[in-house]
Chain A
Amino acid sequence: MAAEPVHQTAISLADHLPVLVVLIPFLAGPLLVLLGSRRLNWPIAFLASGAAFVVSFILLTKVIGGGFISYHLGGWAPPLGIEYRIDAANAFVLLLVTGVSTIILPYAWKSVRHEIPARHHTLFYALFLLCLTGLIGVVVTGDAFNVFVFLEISSLATYVLVAQGSYRDKRALSASFDYLIMGTIGATFFVIGLGLLYMATGTLNMADLAERIADQGSNRTIRAAYAFIVVGIGLKVAIYPLHLWLPNAYTYSPSAVSAFLAATATKVAIYVLLRFTFSVFQPAFTFEVNTLRYLILPFAILAMFAASFISIFQKDFKRMLAYSSIAQIGYMLLGISMLTEAGLTAAIVHLFNHGITKALLFMGVGAYVMRSGGSFLRNIEGLGRVMPLTSAAMVIGGLSLIGVPGTAGFVSKWVLVQAALETGWWPVALMVVASSLLAVIYVWRGFEALYLRAPSAEIAGGDAPLSMLVPIWIMALACLYFGLHTDLTIGAAQTAAQGLLAGSTGMQ
């Protein structure tokens, strides 16, 4: 695999892209607070996010063919200095994170005004940017401890963002507190794992770690570290029995935050899981110890069915979507547990496709909340007639969630079923399609409420404002586009999967 030449001294702006993508939102966040201007807060946030998106796009075009970019922070060479390392896997996730945030911010403009008092807006956008910074940082860094630092930045910002929902529903506070406790437990497990690794190897650079772990073979310390890291990240991923924080956090946070978190937070955690499992611990280790498959496979299948079942019985549309997210995370874990290129590709493709689908659905529900005052199914009754454009986009999102051909969700399902059949797991292939039929049931409950009931008389106003409709429709069109054109998604995911499966050779 051809590596980019390592620059000892970076001379042009283009060489600084890997750090710029982190720095832009990281500096813009505090700037908002310092300026303290209610007029400038949104434009600055949007510009910062947009710039990060552009940088991500450039980075992805550079690495989509294979290879990677290594950036040395402050010119200190790794393993002493911190290294940022971009390859197809993280550039792809980066594109999702920055893309979603850039599309959600215009949506947030009206939605936040409606849900949060004006005096908190500046802080809201600052935190939003910090959360974005954290997620970006987790993805770009090649340093294990740095992952923890950025993970905490994004998590702390997220706890506050979730709590902002308390102006609409006080339960946001307890949801935020739950998330705080669970998230901290996860982070603690993660950092204990890192500590053990450091003890055993004396390094924290991922590429360096990979080499030294390979040299040592597996000993008890390394295995313990592996266990701590998987469980710690598992909490952030919301692997089925570790998911308890997720439904409340998604349900009660402000609409824009729900959409952003659902599309990015768990996806980034999945990326970290992939990175540690394949790049740091090596496929050889993972295959040899092989606990991953037997741990993750049953939980993945459990999530697919149990969370879907729970979803069917929800009365609150947002909560229904939240449980559906847990089920969909099951599909991604299922792909990972196959430990094949096809399986990993499926997992990464679904990570992206589900991200845009859920962002769309949560944004749509946010628009309903704005008009009808609640996200319960009884609140949205008949809104298909009152808000035809929003609802049409929701139909696209719902179909993508089910995996109807022509939508992004179908592409995921296709590659996942194909991967399962290639692995010889035909019962698993049947389970994938069977559980997606459960999605038909819960999605259709929403559709029936939207279209087949009479709207209540109290609903004020017509369709969502343009600043919300445009982001919603961009996502809806993205769901269709990525359902019909898969060059970008499958191409990037395949390169990423190959890189991950190559283990330490993929890191060098």
Chain B
Amino acid sequence: METNTAIMLSMLIPAGATLTNLILRDRANLRDGVTLAAAIATFLCVLSILVNVGNGTTEAFALFEILPGLDLAFRVEPLGLLFAIVASGLWIVTHLYGVGYMRGNNETHHARFFASFSLAIASVMGIAFSANMFTLFLFYELLTLSTYPLVAHKGTPEAIRGARTYLGILIGTSIGLQLVAIVWTWSITGTLDFTKGGILSGHIAGPMVAVLLALYAFGIGKAALMPFHRWLPAAMVAPTPVSALLHAVAVVKAGVFTMLKVGIYIFGIDFLAETGASVWLMWLAAFSIIAASVIALTKDNLKARLAYSTVSQLSYITLGMALATSMGVIGGGMHIAMHAMGKITLFMCAGSIYVATHKTNISQMTGLGRAMPITFVAFGVGALSIIGLPPLGGSWSKWLLVLGAADTGQWVMIGVLMVSSLLNVAYLLPVVGKGIFLKPDDGEVTSWKEPSFLVWGPPALTALGCLVLFFFGGALQDFLAPLVTSN
């Protein structure tokens, strides 16, 4: 398949799945089957791009001009391709899980749910393959809007409140700050194309570089940099498949992906390093890492704890960009994949526990591991990957980030990464420990068992994925290498 066709299909197939979901709203099995086929087809399209292009970069192709000089244009480059592979691959797993979860949990409005879900994936593909900041912004907003119905899904006052926070922060930052940053960039450089080495060098100097970077960094609200992280815990009112794919993988990764794109292709790593404009961002990211981890410790609700853990992990990637060194950038890019695999496992396990027992708080889960061994073992594997222990995927990205920090002589940052790992241990492992090794408080546990295969199977699979990724660490590093090598 030709690459450009594959790019278009990878967006059009999920968008088409949105329509089939709405049209086949009353025929549940057919509807979910078609969506599964769409998910597999999308993944295959992305794989065909991988086969064709490898870690190369294609020429941008423009669909049409939107504003004078600004095209709706797409291209393939390693970071975007990696993001597309992660998101489309995990969509298949999550769709199966979603079907099991929504049915097992007697949720309503399935058609609307899966329609919005597919549209969100289409937006993610658009973000991954966009050739300029303008196109990216377009899909970035579409992603916010298409996930809103998912957060508000239950329609309870609590869900509506959460959805308001979600929308308010994401739209507020993107229109209020990011849009200004983009127009500003456009008006001083006359281009928004993603160009290796950046487009800003020579057009802007002095403290204004840091101001522009701040508009971008805070404007990309999906990266959940403190103090604009509140939307992420608020989004946890959504059904768990949403939290798993969108709020641990697609949406938040779209945020940090945009952050990396801006760092690499708009500012340019060398330009950032020369001007030192990103030093403040590095410290803020470090603060986010530690602060969010500490907050996670205090949360008893499992999903809330995982949400704060995500906030913390996202800042790893922002930190990688802000270090403005090649190791940091590659480590950040790799962390997109590694954290995705680990965190989706954790969320799906949380959902699995909820479907089986309707328990949401960690304090109620004592001894549950005996009744649900697969779920708890998968959770443990995911947790160890997040912590960054070999032989699991998460260890590589953390290792590269530490190397990046050492490169620039930021010893404090190495300390931050280490402390954060310890905090990860402190808030993730007790869940597994209490679940498996402690005895349940009363006898009720005997009545519980693993829910249907569709619910426990996907997390088991992704847990396995964490293990497999460990052996592909070097390959991934080579794959992302073109991001930082000069032509």
A and B associate in one complex: yes
Question: Which A residues form the contact surface with B (CB < 8 A)?
Answer: 399, 402-406, 411, 413-415, 417-418, 421-422, 429-430, 433-434, 436-437, 440, 444, 448, 451-452, 483-487, 490
Of the candidates A399, A406, A452, which one forms a contact with B155 in the assembled complex, judged by CB atoms under 8 Å apart? A452
Contact call A405/B141, Cβ cutoff below 8 A = yes
Tell me whether B374 is interfacial, beta carbon within 8 Å. Answer: no
Contacts of A451 in B (CB 8 A): 149, 152
Contact call B176/A437, Cβ cutoff below 8 A = yes
Of the candidates B138, B141, B184, which one forms a contact with A421 in the assembled complex, judged by CB atoms under 8 Å apart? B184
Contacts of A422 in B (CB 8 A): 187
Contact call A406/B152, Cβ cutoff below 8 A = no
Contact call B68/A486, Cβ cutoff below 8 A = yes
Tell me whether B137 is interfacial, beta carbon within 8 Å. Answer: yes
Contacts of A437 in B (CB 8 A): 171-172, 175-176
With both chains docked as a complex, state the minimum distance between the C-beta of A334 and any C-beta of chain B, in angstroms.
15
With both chains docked as a complex, state the minimum distance between the C-beta of B343 and any C-beta of chain A, in angstroms.
28
Interface-side segment among B160-168, B391-399, B411-419, B420-428: B160-168
With A484-B64, A484-B66 as contacts: A403 and B187 at CB distance below 8 Å: no
> Which residue of chain A lies nearest to B187 when distances are taken between CB atoms in the complex?
A421
Contacts of A486 in B (CB 8 A): 65-68
Tell me whether B12 is interfacial, beta carbon within 8 Å. Answer: no
The CA-CA distance from A437 to B172 in the complex, in Å, is 6
Tell me whether B186 is interfacial, beta carbon within 8 Å. Answer: yes
Of the candidates A430, A436, A448, A490, which one forms a contact with B67 in the assembled complex, judged by CB atoms under 8 Å apart? A490
Contact call A406/B187, Cβ cutoff below 8 A = no
With both chains docked as a complex, state the minimum distance between the C-beta of A388 and any C-beta of chain B, in angstroms.
9
- 18 of the cross-chain contacts (CB-CB < 8 Å) are A399-B145, A402-B175, A405-B137, A405-B142, A417-B183, A421-B183, A421-B187, A434-B176, A437-B172, A440-B171, A440-B175, A444-B164, A444-B167, A448-B160, A451-B152, A484-B66, A486-B67, A490-B68
With A440-B172, A485-B64 as contacts: A418 and B167 at CB distance below 8 Å: no
With both chains docked as a complex, state the minimum distance between the C-beta of A293 and any C-beta of chain B, in angstroms.
21
Contact call B138/A405, Cβ cutoff below 8 A = yes
Tell me whether B429 is interfacial, beta carbon within 8 Å. Answer: no
Contact call A430/B180, Cβ cutoff below 8 A = yes
Of the candidates B138, B152, B155, B168, which one forms a contact with A440 in the assembled complex, judged by CB atoms under 8 Å apart? B168
The CA-CA distance from A444 to B151 in the complex, in Å, is 14
Other than A417-B183, A437-B176, give 9 A-B pairs with Cβ distance below 8 A.
A405-B141, A414-B67, A422-B187, A430-B176, A433-B175, A433-B177, A484-B66, A486-B68, A490-B67
The CA-CA distance from A413 to B67 in the complex, in Å, is 12
Tell me whether B128 is interfacial, beta carbon within 8 Å. Answer: no
The number of residues on chain B lying at the interface, defined by a beta carbon within 8 Å of a beta carbon of chain A, is 29
Most buried by A among B66, B72, B138, B186: B66
> Which residue of chain A lies nearest to B154 when distances are taken between CB atoms in the complex?
A452
Contacts of A448 in B (CB 8 A): 160
Tell me whether B179 is interfacial, beta carbon within 8 Å. Answer: yes
> Which residue of chain A lies nearest to B167 when distances are taken between CB atoms in the complex?
A444
Contact call A429/B180, Cβ cutoff below 8 A = yes
Contacts of B187 in A (CB 8 A): 418, 421-422
> Which residue of chain A lies nearest to B171 when distances are taken between CB atoms in the complex?
A440
The CA-CA distance from A417 to B164 in the complex, in Å, is 26
The CA-CA distance from A414 to B68 in the complex, in Å, is 11
> Which residue of chain A lies nearest to B188 when distances are taken between CB atoms in the complex?
A421
The CA-CA distance from A203 to B164 in the complex, in Å, is 59
With both chains docked as a complex, state the minimum distance between the C-beta of A308 and any C-beta of chain B, in angstroms.
14
The CA-CA distance from A377 to B404 in the complex, in Å, is 55
Contacts of A444 in B (CB 8 A): 164, 167
With both chains docked as a complex, state the minimum distance between the C-beta of A483 and any C-beta of chain B, in angstroms.
8
Contacts of A411 in B (CB 8 A): 66-67
The CA-CA distance from A440 to B167 in the complex, in Å, is 9
Contact call B180/A406, Cβ cutoff below 8 A = no
> Which residue of chain B lies nearest to A453 when distances are taken between CB atoms in the complex?
B155
With both chains docked as a complex, state the minimum distance between the C-beta of B168 and any C-beta of chain A, in angstroms.
7
For the complex of A and B, list the 9 residue pairs with the smallest distance between their C-beta atoms, beginning with the closest.
A405-B138, A417-B183, A421-B187, A405-B141, A433-B176, A418-B183, A452-B155, A404-B141, A433-B175
Contact call B67/A403, Cβ cutoff below 8 A = no
Contacts of A490 in B (CB 8 A): 67-68
> Which residue of chain B lies nearest to A447 when distances are taken between CB atoms in the complex?
B148
Contacts of B149 in A (CB 8 A): 451
Contact call A484/B141, Cβ cutoff below 8 A = no
Contacts of A406 in B (CB 8 A): 138, 141-142
The CA-CA distance from A392 to B359 in the complex, in Å, is 37
Contacts of A452 in B (CB 8 A): 152, 155, 160
- Of residues 1 through 51 on chain B, the ones whose CB sits less than 8 Å from some CB of chain A are none
Contacts of A434 in B (CB 8 A): 176
Contact call B68/A484, Cβ cutoff below 8 A = no
- Of residues 39 through 91 on chain B, the ones whose CB sits less than 8 Å from some CB of chain A are 64-68, 72
With both chains docked as a complex, state the minimum distance between the C-beta of A410 and any C-beta of chain B, in angstroms.
8
> Which residue of chain A lies nearest to B134 when distances are taken between CB atoms in the complex?
A405
Contacts of A418 in B (CB 8 A): 183, 186-187
With A404-B145, A406-B138, A440-B172 as contacts: A417 and B66 at CB distance below 8 Å: no
